[in-house]
Amino acid sequence: MPEISKKGKRMPASPIRKLVPYADSAKQKGRTVYHLNIGQPDINTPEVALEAVKNYPHQVVEYSHSQGIPSLREKLVGYYKQHDIEVTSDEIIVGAGASEAILFAMNSCFDPGDEIVIPEPFYANYNSFAINAGIEVKPIFSSIDTGFALPPIAEFEKAITDKTKGILICNPNNPTGYLYSKEELETLRDIVKKYDLYLIADEVYREFCYDGNKHYSAMYLEGIEQNVVLIDSVSKRYSACGIRIGYMISKNKELMQTALKFAQARLSPPSFGQVAAEAAMDVGDDYFEANLKEYDARRKVVYESINAMEGAECPMPKGAFYVVAKLPIDDSDKFCQWLLEDFEYENQTVMLAPASGFYSTPGRGKDEVRISYVLKVENMKKSMKCLAEALKVYPGRSG
Amino acid sequence: MPEISKKGKRMPASPIRKLVPYADSAKQKGRTVYHLNIGQPDINTPEVALEAVKNYPHQVVEYSHSQGIPSLREKLVGYYKQHDIEVTSDEIIVGAGASEAILFAMNSCFDPGDEIVIPEPFYANYNSFAINAGIEVKPIFSSIDTGFALPPIAEFEKAITDKTKGILICNPNNPTGYLYSKEELETLRDIVKKYDLYLIADEVYREFCYDGNKHYSAMYLEGIEQNVVLIDSVSKRYSACGIRIGYMISKNKELMQTALKFAQARLSPPSFGQVAAEAAMDVGDDYFEANLKEYDARRKVVYESINAMEGAECPMPKGAFYVVAKLPIDDSDKFCQWLLEDFEYENQTVMLAPASGFYSTPGRGKDEVRISYVLKVENMKKSMKCLAEALKVYPGRSG
């Protein structure tokens, strides 16, 4: 029997999915499990997007353009213009989710052995994509004590070697909920310029900014237009995770021509998803305003509840719909499993994501969890009550 | 400005897409262009598949299981059973097209520097996927003179080195239309066993076998069950290229667990496409019988027309809907461009794929083209007439 690839052996199993059998087993016992472990919103996909798919006019579902349906890319130009991002339809490649867009970007920018710097904690799959592309992630530490702000320049400079070819950020941030300021982005620009790096900016949570804060895109940065790669997705924006439509965007023509070769090899992105994505842009501001209001209320429940628990704390998230909370626990992997396997409060429990999975430095995040506030306020309250009760009786409680 | 990746520089631009601007320009001149260059069938997607999408019952288009919707995989078990292939739903991973399934397979089986042997001419994107995964393709020559039969064992053994970790075949074959016999598959089994290789078998054209020939699957081979990876797709089977649903199938548990980690990293395959793929399996045998009859008629037009042209020849294709034809020309890239740029017959012309793009050995295929017989008989006849007239006046005619 031939060997499995070394690359495949290095691929991490998802830290969240390991817990799925325990969640299933809790449900089999008749328990309500609140899923705060994944970024699957409960918000309806816009009716206009679903309707467009239902009115699909063709008798043959043909390949679309490898770069994406032209009318979709044309309409995206208008969407970005509303966000003061000037792009042309040629500067956009449609992918099967942001996931594929990130792979296009990594494969076009980096070779095996190259290094990219990512502030940790970071979205766990960045590491998987990096392994897929054969590149090395060099994490730099962003701390809960500063609310997960961008680490100082000195930390970047310590991590940068002659193999470093890029920096990747997620803004607003998954898992921390942090929203990078204009000043932080400008700091990044200086580093990117000084070391001539690619800056991959994952901005899929652009619309999810609270307290009146405005999102500052990496596309605004002057002087590094050829270095910036924007990653985007409709999954969260329109609560349409399953349609698998994301975007790789860059003003760097040579890079886009290269990425297009990867896109052409896989022929085309999903047709129905593109139809839905194009129509979804017709939703009015009221869709986003209503959602933001809803998420804001959920956010406040989490923030207030966590900080009211003895020994627990979290910063007020400024964007996305996640927060990383510090809990008085010995080991978040054990704790999250225990919640599903051994705990119940009024026949309910809660599923969280151990933050260890979001750090690439071993040992970090052991007393932290990521909470996705994707359930309605009433359920968020119930799940926070569960968590509070759980912390009172968890055998591995510390402090 | 940072460098483009070496991997990206090595990625070939599609040999077919280079011709697209010339086709567009021919159309702007008011010419009819018969597209025999790509495998985009004109057959309708089954109504039952389109209806299922139109009846999508959910208000939120959620992520599906990373491995694919369970009911789709369960139903596939029944589909394969009808083809005497015994698999369980755990032995199937749903990908965004066969393209993604091939990438899962390559990344799980092979590491950068590993080599795979592929009989050439072969589907051009195999080379792109190999570059993506960092692996080297070692082509062995299958000749039009033997109708593109499997090369003899000696040719395989010459190509196999200590870096060789797999063989990839496409059966029925794109681009040649060749259908491998049971005996040829058993020869492959012996080689795979002797050298302990993976055998990746792309069988997306399973239903397209002519003259009463039966498809012999790599999954039938005894003694190499842990080595075989089946690649499949609904694109051609149900003329649903745009839904982007394909499959990676293997009985090798460790391999499937590894591939699943790649699948989990990208979260899920497209939801609407999976709904369509599941429903499409409800089409009756009459759908395939009608299509096969139609393709068979088209095939005969091509075979008879080509072999009636002076200096031109092609074998009778036994499967898929392609044929590689040898033409009396100096250079198929030039010829295919000339057809679009400088030729017209009664204001019509034809777009073909230069076969050079299907060989990885430089210089091969210069007097060959791939013809996809994906147009209705009347148009196939018109396009063959165009080709015959073109060969009479092509300035680079040889022989």
CATH number where B85 lies: 3.40.640.10
- pLDDT-derived band at A365, boundaries 50, 70, 90: very high
Q: A261, A280, A299: which is the final residue of a domain?
A: A280
Q: Which residues pair with A348 in a beta bridge?
A: A32, A345
Q: B263, B280, B297: which is the final residue of a domain?
A: B280
B230 and B151 in a single domain? The answer is yes
B3, closest residue in chain A (CA to CA)? A109
Contact in structure between B311 and B225 (CB atoms under 8 Å)? no
Asked if the Cβ–Cβ distance from A265 to B125 is below 8 Å, we say yes
B207 and B242 in a single domain? The answer is yes
Is B118 near chain A, with CB under 8 Å? no
Cα–Cα distances in Å, from B235 out to A149, A370, B260? 46, 39, 22
B82 and B137 in a single domain? The answer is yes
Chain B neighbors of A100, CB-CB under 8 A: 96, 266
Is B108 near chain A, with CB under 8 Å? yes
The token pair at A280 is 């979804």
Asked if the Cβ–Cβ distance from B17 to A264 is below 8 Å, we say yes
- Residue A335 domain flag: yes
Is A23 near chain B, with CB under 8 Å? no
Q: For A110, which of B5, B64, B252 is closest by C-beta distance?
A: B5
Report which DSSP code applies to A309: S
Please give the ipTM for the structure prediction: 0.96
Is A271 near chain B, with CB under 8 Å? yes
Residue that is written with structure tokens 């012999």 in the block? B216
Q: Which stretches of chain A are DSSP H helices?
A: 6-10, 20-28, 47-54, 70-82, 97-109, 125-133, 153-159, 182-195, 253-265, 271-280, 285-308, 332-341, 377-393
Chain A neighbors of B276, CB-CB under 8 A: 61, 272
Chain A neighbors of B259, CB-CB under 8 A: 8
Is A61 near chain B, with CB under 8 Å? yes
Could you read off the pLDDT of A308-334 as tens digits, one per residue? 999 999 999 999 999 999 999 999 999
Asked if the Cβ–Cβ distance from B240 to A61 is below 8 Å, we say yes
Q: Which of A275, A278, A277, A266 is nearest to A58 (CA)?
A: A275
Shortest Cα distance, chain A CAs vs residue B395, angstroms: 32
B236 and B261 in a single domain? The answer is yes
Contact in structure between B118 and B160 (CB atoms under 8 Å)? no
Q: A259, A280, A301: which is the final residue of a domain?
A: A280
φ, ψ for residue A54 (rounded to 5)? -65, -25
The token pair at B271 is 């939801």
pLDDT recorded at residue B190? 97
Whole-angstrom distance, CA of residue B249 vs CA of residue B98: 11
Shortest Cα distance, chain A CAs vs residue B106, angstroms: 9
The token pair at B15 is 């040999």
Q: Which of A132, A135, A69 is nearest to A100 (CA)?
A: A132
Q: Which of residues 336-375 of A touch B (CB under 8 A)?
A: none
- pLDDT-derived band at A38, boundaries 50, 70, 90: confident
Asked if the Cβ–Cβ distance from B132 to A268 is below 8 Å, we say no
Q: What is the pLDDT along chain B (399 residues), one digit of tens a residue?
A: 899 999 999 999 877 778 999 999 999 999 999 999 988 888 999 999 999 999 999 999 999 999 999 999 999 999 999 999 999 999 999 999 999 999 999 999 999 999 999 999 999 999 999 999 999 999 999 999 999 999 999 999 999 999 999 999 999 999 999 999 999 999 999 999 999 999 999 999 999 999 999 999 999 999 999 999 999 999 999 999 999 999 999 999 999 999 999 999 999 999 999 999 999 999 989 999 999 999 999 999 999 999 999 999 999 999 999 999 999 999 999 999 999 999 999 999 999 999 999 999 999 999 999 999 999 999 999 999 999 999 999 999 986
B33 and B158 in a single domain? The answer is no
φ, ψ for residue B143 (rounded to 5)? -105, 145
Q: Which of A81-95 are b and which e, b meaning 16 or more Cβ less than 10 Å from the residue's Cβ?
A: eeeebebeeebbbbb
> CATH no. for residue B360?
3.90.1150.10
Is B266 near chain A, with CB under 8 Å? yes
Could you read off the pLDDT of A111-165 as tens digits, one per residue? 999 999 999 999 999 999 999 999 999 999 999 999 999 999 999 999 999 999 9
The token pair at B53 is 């999408």
Alpha carbon distance, N-terminus to C-terminus of chain A: 50
Is B44 near chain A, with CB under 8 Å? yes
Chain B neighbors of A62, CB-CB under 8 A: 40, 241-242
Size of interface A-B (CB pairs under 8 A): 244
Is B237 near chain A, with CB under 8 Å? no
Whole-angstrom distance, CA of residue B56 vs CA of residue B52: 6
Asked if the Cβ–Cβ distance from A125 to B56 is below 8 Å, we say no
Chain A neighbors of B97, CB-CB under 8 A: 266-267
Shortest Cα distance, chain B CAs vs residue A397, angstroms: 32
Site from B24, B55, B104, B244 to mutate, A interface, most A CB atoms within 10 angstroms = B244
Q: For A7, which of B107, B129, B269 is closest by C-beta distance?
A: B107
Contact in structure between B350 and B327 (CB atoms under 8 Å)? no
pLDDT recorded at residue A17? 77
B259 and B298 in a single domain? The answer is no
User: How do beta strands A246-249 and A92-95 pair?
Assistant: antiparallel
State which H helix or E strand residue B115 sits in. Answer: strand B115-120
Shortest Cα distance, chain B CAs vs residue A349, angstroms: 22
Label residue B399 exposed, middle or buried (CB < 10 Å: 0-12, 13-18, 19+).
exposed
Is B21 near chain A, with CB under 8 Å? no
pLDDT at A229 over 90: yes
Sign of CA dihedral A6, A10, A11, A17: positive
The token pair at B49 is 């598949």
Chain A neighbors of B128, CB-CB under 8 A: 261-262, 264-265
- Residue B1 domain flag: no
Q: For B61, which of A11, A17, A45 is closest by C-beta distance?
A: A45
- Residue B183 domain flag: yes
- Residue A1 domain flag: no
Is B242 near chain A, with CB under 8 Å? yes
Angle at alpha carbon of residue A358, lines to A352 and A364, rounded to 5°? 100
Q: Which domain holds residue A264?
A: 47-280
- Residue B216 domain flag: yes
Chain B neighbors of A165, CB-CB under 8 A: 2-3
CA torsion B19-B24-B29-B30 (nearest 10°) is 120
Label residue B183 exposed, middle or buried (CB < 10 Å: 0-12, 13-18, 19+).
exposed
State which H helix or E strand residue B230 sits in. Answer: strand B228-233
Number of domains in chain A: 2
Whole-angstrom distance, CA of residue A17 vs CA of residue A357: 11
The token pair at A63 is 């390949």
A159 and A296 in a single domain? The answer is no
Asked if the Cβ–Cβ distance from B8 to A259 is below 8 Å, we say yes
Shortest Cα distance, chain A CAs vs residue B374, angstroms: 13
Instruction: Spell out the residues 6+ positions from residue B305 whose beta carbon is closer than 8 angstroms to its own.
Output: B381, B384, B385, B387, B388
Report which DSSP code applies to A328: S
Asked if the Cβ–Cβ distance from A273 to B272 is below 8 Å, we say yes
Is B2 near chain A, with CB under 8 Å? yes
Is B261 near chain A, with CB under 8 Å? yes
Q: Which residues pair with B35 in a beta bridge?
A: B351
Site from A100, A261, A278 to mutate, B interface, most B CB atoms within 10 angstroms = A261
Label residue A226 exposed, middle or buried (CB < 10 Å: 0-12, 13-18, 19+).
middle
pLDDT recorded at residue B343? 97
Shortest Cα distance, chain A CAs vs residue B398, angstroms: 33
A217 and A290 in a single domain? The answer is no
pLDDT at A16 over 80: no
B312 and B180 in a single domain? The answer is no
Whole-angstrom distance, CA of residue B324 vs CA of residue B326: 7
3-state secondary structure A133-182: HCCEEEEEECCHHHCCCCCCHHHHHHHCCCCEEEEEEECCCCCCCCCCCH
Amino acid at A243: I
Is A157 near chain B, with CB under 8 Å? no
A202 and A325 in a single domain? The answer is no
Peptide bond into A12 cis (omega under 30): no
- Residue B212 domain flag: yes
The token pair at B373 is 């017989």
B217 and B329 in a single domain? The answer is no
Q: For A108, which of B4, B114, B270 is closest by C-beta distance?
A: B4
B55, closest residue in chain A (CA to CA)? A54
Is B162 near chain A, with CB under 8 Å? no
Q: Which of B340, B394, B359, B370 is nearest to B20 (CA)?
A: B340
Ordered strands of the B136-141 beta sheet: B92-95, B246-249, B228-233, B198-202, B164-170, B115-120, B136-141
pLDDT at A40 over 90: no
Is A28 near chain B, with CB under 8 Å? no
pLDDT recorded at residue A297? 97
Chain B neighbors of A253, CB-CB under 8 A: none
Query: Among the listed ranges A220-234, A247-261, B11-25, B68-82, which one has the minimum average pLDDT value?
Result: B11-25
B162 and B53 in a single domain? The answer is yes
Shortest Cα distance, chain B CAs vs residue A331, angstroms: 24
Shortest Cα distance, chain B CAs vs residue A21, angstroms: 14
Contact in structure between B66 and B260 (CB atoms under 8 Å)? yes
- Residue B192 domain flag: yes
Whole-angstrom distance, CA of residue A215 vs CA of residue B146: 63
- Residue B399 domain flag: no
pLDDT recorded at residue B13? 83
Asked if the Cβ–Cβ distance from A244 to B4 is below 8 Å, we say no
Asked if the Cβ–Cβ distance from A262 to B226 is below 8 Å, we say no
